[in-house]
Amino acid sequence: SSFDTSSVTDMNFMFCDCKSLTQLNLSSFSTENVKYLNSMFENCVSLWKLDLSSFSTENIKNFNYMFSGCENLYHIDVSNGWNTNAAITADNVFEDCYRLPHYRDGRTGLEMCCSINEGGYFHYVGEEDDYE
């Protein structure tokens, strides 16, 4: 909770293969200067909920495999600050995230970075979910 990430530009593999990790508090993370989130949570097989509502993603260039292999992840909170317009690569962002609402093989890219009300995988803070 006291990490100063305001100057960080690369969060690649930060929590990759943390197989026993079930939850994280990332509310103090500043991501305004981050460009790379490649495999940030890859293979965190016990992770079930993430609150990324403090994340600003407007400068992110690489989202490859960000949540890939998080087979128990079922809830991702984001804010309207989640923006993928700068992305250059985003392969298999949600690969094998079987418990996410609406999960389908082949629907694992940035197109799924939208509200569950729109068929995506995100819960937007302040928005009521229609999904049960």
pLDDT in tens, 92-107: 999 999 999 989 999 9
Burial of 116 (0-12, 13-18, 19+ CB in 10 A): buried
Percent of the chain residues past pLDDT 70, beyond the cut: 98
Residue by residue, DSSP assigns 95-122 as TT-TTSTT--TT--SGGG-SBGGGTSSB
Give residue-wise pLDDT tens across range 16-34: 999 999 988 898 889 999 9
What is the chain's mean pLDDT, rounded?
92
Whole-structure pTM value: 0.93
Taking the C-alpha atoms of residue 73 and residue 76, their distance in angstroms, rounded to an integer, is 8
